Amino acid sequence: MSQPTEDPKEKPKRWIYIIPLVLFSVLMIVFFIGLGLNPRLLPSPLIDQPAPGFNLARLKAPDEMISQDVLKGEPSLLNIWATWCVSCRVEHPVLMKIAASKEVPIFGLFYKDERSKGLAWLKDYGDPYVASGMDLDGKIAIDWGLYGAPETFVIDKDGVIRYKHVGPITWDDWQNILLPKIKSLRAGSGV
């Protein structure tokens, strides 16, 4: 066994040992500021920008493609979903009700998942989407500035993003936020 030896000439680098404390303090500060802030929505640089382009195979008919052009013509929702996403399962019945109300067409972006699982999901729980594009590697979602799933974008008749909802849509969210937005978009455009 070699004995630990001290070299008196070398100054110990004491600042290294402070790093864990500093990192932890930063984390705590971020956390407390985070808890203190309460913006209802996360700012998205995409608001009032044209929807980012995509050209994806459809989940139910992989020979057909859908692109951002399907979002034009009338206001629509683009919902990002996946079968691994527990919150999406919570949100799903609400989407079914929205689809049944025929207020607005819902398009899906099927995100980082496997086609077979997505098909089973739609078969088991129902399909609220006009069509779902398969973004299996999540590249398109990056263009859309995705935080996670589920997220829903409100898009106007010109294909411009007007609102972004992070997390599952509840029936209240639909009634109080999304539906009024869509109604005003329709009114504004005279449709």
List interacting residues with another protein (CB under 8 A): 1-2, 4-7, 12-14, 16-18, 20-21, 24-25, 28, 30-31, 34-35, 37-42, 82, 84-88, 90, 112-113, 120, 123-124, 138, 147-151, 165-168
Question: What tokens were used for 130?
Answer: 């006009």
Q: Three-class SS of residue 165? A: strand
Fill in the amino acid letter for 47. I
Whichever of 63 and 124 has its CB closer to another protein, that residue is: 124
Whichever of 61 and 86 has its CB closer to another protein, that residue is: 86
Residue 22 and residue 189: Cα distance in Å, rounded? Answer: 54
Whichever of 106 and 149 has its CB closer to another protein, that residue is: 149
Fill in the amino acid letter for 60. K
Least CB distance from residue 109 to another protein, whole Å?
14
DSSP secondary structure string, 90-113? HHHHHHHHHHHHTSS-EEEEEESS
Residue 163 and residue 77: Cα distance in Å, rounded? Answer: 10
Q: Which of 173, 179, 120, 119 is nearest to 151 (CA)?
A: 173
Whichever of 2 and 190 has its CB closer to another protein, that residue is: 2
**C-alpha dihedral, 88 to 91 to 97 to 100, nearest 10°:** -20
Least CB distance from residue 148 to another protein, whole Å?
3
Whichever of 61 and 120 has its CB closer to another protein, that residue is: 120
Least CB distance from residue 96 to another protein, whole Å?
16
| Residue 107 β-bridge partners | 78, 131
